[in-house]
Structure 1
Amino acid sequence: MGRHQAGSRSVGAILRGVGLVLAVALVAGAGWYALHRDSGGQDGASCPTTLRVVTASSFTTVVSAAGRELRTGPDCVLLDVTSADGRPAAGQLGQVSADVWIPDDAAWATIAPPGQLVATDKDNQAKRDTGAGQTLATTPIYMVTDGPTANKIKGGEGGGWWALAGLLNNKSSGVRMVVRDPSLSGDGLVAAGAVGEAVWLKQGMDASSLALNSTLAATRTVNHDLAATPDVAGEVGLVPEYALLPIMDLAQNRTYLAGADNTALMRYTWLPTAAAARDPERVAALQKLLTAFKSPAVQDAMNVAGLRTPGGPRPEFEGGDALPEPTAKPFDVLQSHHVQHVFATWDPEDRRSNLLIAVDIAGATTGSGSGGSTPSGGPAGKQPPIEVLKAGCRVVGDLMPVGSRLGLWEISPGQPGGYRKLLPTDRLDDTSRAAFTRSVSTLTTHKAGAGLLDTIVAAYQSVRDDWHDDMFNQVFILTDDANKDSANAQAVATMVQKLKDLQDEERPVTISIVVLGKKDAADRLKTALSTLGAGTYVDNAQSGEDVQAAFIHVVAGGLHE
């Protein structure tokens, strides 16, 4: 057992439990709280600097240990620590004028207000001075389940997160996922993100959106428990190692999987604020705190907390050897758009958009391959493209929350401007949602003719002029390009120039275009629109599933990488 005697381990478990319970209280509306103020019996005035630290509840005991290393001597530093988890933690940075944020995963940096943290994506003096972006501790996430369910996962392709995603999307598998709320905990965000990442790596972004949306129906989300442990056979709890270690002696008939394809890894990350980086005195204090995390006493505190030092072994806990050692390459840190996909899946408010959909389908879309395959919900040709698009539009209407804005246009050659407004963009409520559904049912095919390019410009201008700062502002175009507008290089160039003229940095609008069946047309439009910079997305759909995935992607914010 080494230094981890039974008594000290119980104390560590109690401290972790207290931190997690307090975090839940924060989520429930108790607000932020100061968990710890290191004074060490000294008069605070005797220390020249007090650093304000915001950190995850599972890391507070480690920060406290670092504080004890710093609070003596002529150049002592005091720590004023606020414990906060998940999305609420980002709001605390400004509230307490934080000098550094130590969240339980690096992905949380994507939700901080722009410019608030020292940039870690490129080399700069502030990053070098403060050590921004360093990983202080890690903890892997395990799949915790019963033996038969574990065998299903191990028997699936890859034997890991990809296999789990497939089982969750198979209604007949009997497999369900248990996860903490991704917006309120790092283990929830990283665990849910791992399921999405496994699909993203195999099949791409749109498929990941579709898989996450389907997964939610097979998920039990918890925000009141200390860990997302399974209750019944068939459930797969996604639990971080630090939460498992103290309860290993209580576990019965459980099987633990680390993921054979990838490792889901939480990374406790050092994120100084830009304001602190501009103050030499605070930079010096931050450097001392960062160094303190390497001291033996703080390293020991990490072990007691059940956390690994970067690259270090599993902490010694009784029964811990029952956990398999993760050997697969860790998933990359979730980037901004990946995080948004997870949030939009779990929280309807993250699907709030000002969205205008324009549909362009000619009646003669047939054939196969890149020249014009017919997307369908099943085998090719079983469902006309217009019916696939109607189904996709209904998905949007169902997924977008009340308070969003939604409009529907139909490209119609011969009409003024090349389109007709089936439903002007309006605030979404029960009445307007029903009107949208009725409008979707009136969508029809048309003869091939001009109108697509002019409609894209008109739709963009409409959304820009009706821009709302509390939601995503988007144009979503679905076309079979029957008129071969994409092949008219001059007309496409004219459209792009008009869009450039309409762009407004203060009112950004995302354009998403999905071309049915014709990859060559999608590639031409993608190349042309790439000159607009960020905010454009063009893809090709070869199946009904592709179309549905594109709709869900747009509902998730329409962003892309």
Structure 2
Amino acid sequence: MPGRHRDPRRNTALRATAAIAAAALVLAGSFLVYRQLNATSSCEGEAPLSVAASADIVDALRATADSLNQQKVAVDGKCVAIQVTMVEPADMTAALADLNSVSLTGIGQPSGNTQIPDVWVPDSATWLARLTTAAPAFQVAQAPSIARSPVVVAMPEPIAATLGWPAKTPSWTALLGAMTSGTGLRVGIVEPTRDAAGLSGLLALGAAAAGTGANSQAAATGALRALASGRSVLRDDLLARFPRSKDPAALKSALSAASLSEQAVIHYNATKPPVPLAALYLEPAPTALTFPYAVMPGLPTTKAGVAQRLLDEVRQPAFRDRLAALGLRAADGTYGSALATPKGAPAAASPNPAATPSPAATVAAVDRALSTWVAVTLPARMLAVIDVSGSMLERVATAGGATRAQVTLEAARRGLGLFDDSWAVGLWTFSTKLQGDRDYKQLLPIGPLSQQRNQMLATLGTITPKPDGDTGLYDTILAAYETVQRDWDPGRVNSVVMMTDGDNDDDNGVSLEQLQAKLKELADPNRPIQVVILAIGDKINPAPLQQITKLTGGGVFQAKDPAKIGEIFLQAISLRSAAPAS
């Protein structure tokens, strides 16, 4: 068959058309690139924004910020310059608490290296709730959640299987019983004053203990002591204590359970350990990690605009993918296929608004839990001094007609039940002229509870007020301070805990001015002694007491309703670790 004739003019036309089309595509592409460059390069100078974030989410935020910086995104005509740094939430909480002149249970003094950022992204909204409750003037502009990680009970899979996993999940009550009934379950916790997941688990166990009826305090105390014996300061240290072999002996001697974030379990299992961890999603679900995006108050307009631009960006699908790569869920609790969740994980883990407590209720529960925790775990040497003046015979209507002395002694007995054998405790009473002209009387010297717990309990049962006794408060404070100072122990928190319902009314003793002068003379910053005063009732004047504790460290805690002395006692004990006043 003869070949088809090709028209050279047609070929030339086709080549010309193709060339024109190619040129058009190049020009169109160039125009699009020009538009993009023009859109992102029309900024001059910098619009800086500092962001401090929890280690769990910092990489996702830093990648997002870097992308905006590289695109030269403009806010108010200036190029955004967002810097993201990692800061531990407890450290930032300490810095913000110090800035706002408040103290939070379990939060120490801030590091001099912690800088207040423009935006703070801690792992939990609890940090913010505690700060804003203690310092009402500190209110962040906004703090929406930008990620989520449920809090689970992590167990080696062979141990979880003995509790019915994965077919069923034990209840908190069942877990509490296993912890305190000698089953050999070795539990651990990351220090809950610094770790949000540890705190969340502590709150859940506390709620379970409260539901055990008459035995609630014994159950709570047993759980706290079990957790305290297995606590770790760092999460990595706790994870290292899980078993590295399925051998029964290894399983028995290693850590059996701990409250951790879902993210922590995902990361642990991603290392392909010999014994993977099961994640138990117990109900009611503990408070999840929600990563609030907290814009600090008082930002200038441009910085506030940059903060909003970054927030808009983290609400895009690309950020959800970055979260999944870190083992985190999106803020609504959902996740994509890139997130390898543990077996049995819910498809969504969003909060139930009807079951979510108010911020005030959350903070109150946190304060109670941490007060009790610190009381149990902080080694101490304490002299307890109890008022036995005549006013302590006054009846308390809100306590069923019990006297002030009775509710105070009951608080002391309950507190004693929390202290383990590492504590050293002494006991005095005071009024006026209890021993000759002396206003105070030693019932037991300061000694280890391992040797005198039963004697302490028995002695508390013999204390009765002196009907005609007045309140020799200042003489007693001075004598108690000197006694604790005499055998000061560098390995413990040394403290005097005074429980009184009255102002000093001993005209024959030292005055307030004389007491202050003597305490200034005695105080040694290298041998601090905390003076903690529990003021019982609403008639006592706290001002002179605060002048005293300002010199020594410690604090004044007033139970206007004497029936609440037990709660106030725990708060007071928990703040013994505060640094002495300078």
Gaps of at least 5 residues in structure 1 are 1-41, 121-126, 363-368, 374-384, 478-491, 513-528, 531-535, 541-548
1:299-349 Cα distance to aligned partner (Å, 9 max, x none): 221122221122231443575361332689577575266257437736989
Residue 199 of structure 2 aligns to a residue in which SS? Answer: helix
Within 5 Å, give how 1:488-507 maps onto structure 2.
496-499=538-541, 502=544
Query: C-alpha distance in 2, partners of 1:433/1:451?
Result: 36
Within 5 Å, give how 1:94-493 maps onto structure 2.
95-109=114-128, 119-120=138-139, 127=140, 130-131=141-142, 133-145=143-155, 146-147=157-158, 149=160, 152=163, 159-170=170-181, 172-199=182-209, 210-211=221-222, 213-221=224-232, 223=234, 225=236, 228=239, 230-231=242-243, 232-233=251-252, 235-248=256-269, 250=272, 252=275, 254-274=277-297, 277-317=298-338, 320=341, 322-325=343-346, 332=357, 334-335=362-363, 338=366, 341-342=369-370, 345=373, 356-358=384-386, 393=416, 408-410=427-429, 415=434, 420-422=439-441, 445=462, 449-450=466-467, 454=471, 455-458=500-503, 474-476=532-534
**AA matched with 1:182:** P
Residue 538 of structure 1 aligns to a residue in which SS? Answer: helix
1:445-504 Cα distance to aligned partner (Å, 9 max, x none): 266652689552148999x96799999753358xxxxxxxxxxxxxx9xx7334367575
Query: C-alpha distance in 1, partners of 2:82/2:375?
Result: 35
Query: C-alpha distance in 2, partners of 1:441/1:432?
Result: 13
Query: C-alpha distance in 1, partners of 2:151/2:91?
Result: 22
Query: C-alpha distance in 1, partners of 2:288/2:351?
Result: 11
Query: C-alpha distance in 2, partners of 1:166/1:213?
Result: 13
**1:421 shift after superposition:** 2.0
1:193-218 Cα distance to aligned partner (Å, 9 max, x none): 43334435777997787355323355
Q: 1:50 to 1:176 in 2, by over 3 A?
A: same
**AA matched with 1:230:** F
Q: 1:80 to 1:497 in 2, by over 3 A?
A: same
1:260-303 Cα distance to aligned partner (Å, 9 max, x none): 233341121122323xx242222222222222211222222112
1:538 counterpart residue number: 564
Q: 1:263 to 1:418 in 2, by over 3 A?
A: farther
**1:81 shift after superposition:** 1.8
**1:422 shift after superposition:** 3.1
1:336-379 Cα distance to aligned partner (Å, 9 max, x none): 662574377369896779975316599xxxxxx96779xxxxxx
1:512-538 Cα distance to aligned partner (Å, 9 max, x none): 5xxxxxxxxxxxxxxxx25xxxxx762
Residue 194 of structure 1 aligns to a residue in which SS? Answer: helix
Residue 136 of structure 1 aligns to a residue in which SS? Answer: coil
Q: 1:273 to 1:197 in 2, by over 3 A?
A: farther
- What TM-score do you get using the length of structure 1 for normalisation? 0.59
1:401-432 Cα distance to aligned partner (Å, 9 max, x none): 9xxxx874325697499994235999x9x899
Residue 135 of structure 1 aligns to a residue in which SS? Answer: coil
2:497 counterpart residue number: none
Larger RCO (alpha carbons 8 Å, 6+ apart): 1
**1:51 shift after superposition:** 1.0
- What TM-score do you get using the length of structure 2 for normalisation? 0.57
Residue 467 of structure 2 aligns to a residue in which SS? Answer: coil
- Percent of paired sites with the same residue: 15
Gaps of at least 5 residues in structure 2 are 1-39, 97-112, 244-250, 393-398, 472-499, 506-510, 577-582
Query: C-alpha distance in 2, partners of 1:318/1:394?
Result: 45
Q: 1:456 to 1:387 in 2, by over 3 A?
A: closer
Count residues in correspondence.
436
Query: C-alpha distance in 2, partners of 1:436/1:419?
Result: 27
**AA matched with 1:357:** V
Question: Does structure 1 retain, via aligned residues, the 8 Å contact 2:89–2:194?
Answer: yes
**AA matched with 2:331:** P
Aligned counterpart in structure 1 of residue 81 of structure 2, from 71, 78, 81: 78
Once the two structures are overlaid, the 10-residue window that deviates more, 334-343 or 417-426, is: 417-426
Query: C-alpha distance in 2, partners of 1:445/1:550?
Result: 23
